[in-house]
Chain A
Amino acid sequence: MALNAGLACHGLRFGWPGEQGDDRILLQAVTAWFQPGRVSLVTGATGAGKSTLLHLLGGLLRPVAGEVRAEDQPVSRWPARHRDPWRRRVGMVFQHLALVPDLSVAENLLLPLVPRGMKWSAMQAAITRQLEAVELGQLAAKPVYTLSGGQRQRLAIARALVGAPRFVLADEPTAFQDDRQAARICAQMGAVARTGVVVVIGSHDPRLRNASEVDDRWHLAAGRLTAVGPPQAAP
C-alpha cells in the first residue's frame, strides 16, 4: 500500500480560544496515519479532544500548526473554496448528530447529495440502500423529530455514508445504541472500511474498544495521540 494513501496528520496543534484570550492548547503535536481499508479507533477520556481531532481531520477546524494530508494533499492548508468541495469526500457523524429536525428521514439523507450533480434515480437508490443498512427503511417519510435518540444516531450514520465517502469520521457513533445495534454498527464500519475507505471512530465506548472489527487503536491523552495494541508506524 502506498505510504501517501489515507488520512495523515503531522504535528497537529490546536487550542480553543481561551476566556482571557490566551489559547489553551488541547492537542499538541498529534501525528498519526489512518490507513485506508482499516477501522481506526481513537479513545480517550471525555474532554480529551476526540471530537476536536475529528473536526480537524474533516477540515471543519484548522490546526494552529502542522497539517492534515488526505491522499497526500495538504487539505488543512487549503482555502475554503477548495476545502468545501473536498469535504464531499468526507462522511462525518457528529457527536451532536446535527440532523435537521423538521425534515423527513429521507430528506436528511438527500442533503449531502443535492450539490453533487447526481441523477435523481441514483440519489434515490443510494438513500434507500443506506436506510435499509441502518434498519430505518420503514421510517423514510417520518420527520426526524419523531425519532428516538438511537434511531436519530443511526440516521446520522446513514447520512455520513450516503455519499460514498473516501473518509468516514464517526464521533461516538454507538453512544445511544443497544448492544445489538452497537455490534451491527461495528460490523457496518468494518464493511465500509473493507471497500478501501478510511474509517476513524472517536469513542470512549468499551463495546467498541473490544470489537474485533477495529484494526488500529489510538489513545488520546494530555494532548498526545499514542498507538495502543498492535504497533503502528507513522508515515
Chain B
Amino acid sequence: MSGDGGPRWSPLAVWAAREVQREAGRSCLLFAFLFLLVAIIATPMLFSHALAVTWTRWMEQTPHLVVRRIDAGGWAPLPAEAAVHYARKVPGALDPTPRLWGVATGPAGPVTVVTAPADLPAEGLPGQRPPAPGEAVVGRAVADAAVDNHLVLEQMDRVTLAIVATFPDNSVMVTHDLVWVAPPDARRLLGMLPDQASDLAVRLFRSESASAVAADLAAAFPWPVRIIDRDTMTEGLRRRAMGKGVAALMLSLPALLAFLWVMTGAVTGPAGRSAYWGVLSAMGWTTADLVRLQVAKALLVGMPALAVGLAVACGAVFHPMAAAWTAFLLMGTQQLPALALDGSGAVVMLLQIAAVVGLPFLAAVFLTTLRGVEGAARSTMEAGQWH
C-alpha cells in the first residue's frame, strides 16, 4: 500500500501555492520574519568576512617583518645605513629597506605621513607623480578637512603643504588619513636627521620562517628593537574585523535560531487547521502527503525570503554607501568611510548562512506538521468531529 509511490510533485506544488495564497496573512508574516532574520544574521557575518578578506588582501602588500628601534621613551628613529648593514648579516632576511613615515597632527586630527610609494598599496597610485617638496598627495578624509587646498601639519615642526592630488576612492579604506609628502618635508615634520629612518622593512623568502628570522634579527642589532611580523598584524586586524557587533551576533545565534523555531512552529502549525487536515486524511492524504504539502508551502515562502534577505545583506555590505552605515552599526566606528569590500568567497558564505537558517526552519515545519497531523488524526479517529 505505502509502496505505491508518493504523489507527483506538480499538483502538490500547485496546491501548496494555492494554500500560500489562501493563508496570505500567515504567509506574509512568515516571509517578513524569515527575511528579517536572514538579513540580521547574514549582514554581520558577511561584513566581517568581507572585511577580513579585504584586510588580508591589503596585508599581502606589506613587508613580512618590520623592525623598530625602542628606547626608554618608547619608539626611536634608527640610523638607516647601520640598520641595513646589521640586517643583511641575518640569513633569510631579504631586502632590508629603511622607511620614513610617522604620525602628525592635521587640521582634523592625526594623519599618517608617508614618503615612499613602497609603503602604499598599489591601488593608491595609478600613475601618480611623487610630490615635490612643499606638495602633498592626501587621502579623502584629509582632503575634506583641508582649507583652500592647503594643509597644515604639526609634530616636531609646523609645515604647510599644497595638496596636488587625492588618493582614488577605491583605496579609501587604507588611504583615508594618509598624507604622502617629499622626504625632506617628512624629516622636518617628524624631527629626524637625514640619515635616520622610522623603521626597517624586511622581506622573507618564506613567511613561515618569520619567527626564526625575527629572533636572529633581534640579536643582530646592537640596540633594543621590536619586531612585528605580518601574521601578528593580520591576526590583530582579523580580531578588529570581528567587531563587537559580530561577536554579539555569534553568541546570540542559538537564541535567534530557537526563536526561528518557535515562530515557524506558531505560524505553520496546526492552529485552525486540524479540522481541515482531518478532512484531508479522511480523503486519503497520508501523513507523508501532509508533510510534503507543508514543506512545499514552507519552501515557497522560505526560499524567496532567504533570497531577499541575503540580497539585502549583500547590498548592506558591498554597496559603498550602505557599507558605511553597516560599519557604523556593527563596529561602532566611522573610521571606515565608504568601504569597498572584497566579495571573494561571499557565495560560499551565503550558502552557509542559507543552511544555518534553512535547516532549522525546515525541521521546525516538519515537526510542527507531524504534531498537527497527530492531533488531527486523533480527532478523526477518536472524536469524529467533522464540522
Contact = CB atoms under 8 A, between A and B. Distances in A.
Interface of A: 17, 52, 55, 58, 60-62, 78, 80-82, 84-90, 92, 94-98, 100, 102-103, 107, 110-120, 123, 159, 163
B119 interface: no
Given A82-B2, A116-B7, A120-B11, A98 B381 contact: no
B284 A116 contact: yes
A98 B276 CA distance: 8
B54 to A, nearest CB: 51
Given A85-B4, A97-B387, 19 more contacts: A17-B382, A60-B282, A60-B380, A60-B384, A81-B2, A87-B281, A87-B283, A88-B284, A92-B282, A92-B283, A95-B386, A100-B276, A102-B22, A114-B11, A114-B285, A115-B12, A116-B284, A117-B7, A163-B283
A86 B7 contact: no
Contacts, number: 94
B284 A84 contact: yes
Given A60-B381, A117-B5, A96 B387 contact: yes
Nearest to A51: B384
Given A80-B287, A80-B377, A98-B282, A114 B387 contact: no
B382 to A, nearest CB: 8
B279 interface: yes
Nearest to A119: B8
Contact of B1 (A82, A97, A123): A82
Contacts of B276: 100
B231 interface: no
A61 B11 contact: no
A111 B280 contact: yes
Given A86-B1, A100-B276, A117-B6, A123 B11 contact: yes
Contacts of A55: 384
Among B4, B18, B282, B382, residue most surrounded by chain A Cβ atoms (within 10 Å):
B282
18 contacts: A60-B282, A60-B384, A61-B381, A78-B1, A81-B287, A85-B4, A85-B286, A92-B282, A98-B279, A103-B22, A113-B11, A114-B7, A115-B6, A115-B12, A115-B285, A115-B289, A117-B6, A117-B7
B15 interface: yes
Interface string B65-105: 00000000000000000000000000000000000000000
Interface string B344-387: 00000000000000000000000000000000010011101011
Nearest to B5: A117
B282 A115 contact: no
Contacts of A92: 282-283
A101 to B, nearest CB: 10
Contacts of B232: none
Contacts of A119: 8
A84 B286 contact: yes
Nearest to A73: B1
Contacts of A123: 11
B125 to A, nearest CB: 65
Contacts of A84: 281, 284-287
Contacts of B377: 80
A61 B384 contact: yes
A134 to B, nearest CB: 17
A111 B284 CA distance: 10
B284 A112 contact: yes
A81 B286 contact: yes
A52 B383 CA distance: 11
A165 B11 CA distance: 20
B15 A114 contact: yes
Contacts of A115: 6-7, 12, 284-286, 289
For the complex of A and B, the 3 pairs showing the least CB-CB separation, nearest first, are: A88-B284, A112-B283, A115-B289
Contacts of A78: 1
A85 B386 contact: no
A159 B283 CA distance: 9
Contact of A117 (B8, B282, B382, B386): B8
Contacts of A112: 283-284
Interface in B285-316: 285-289
Contacts of B288: 81
B386 A96 contact: yes
Nearest to A165: B284
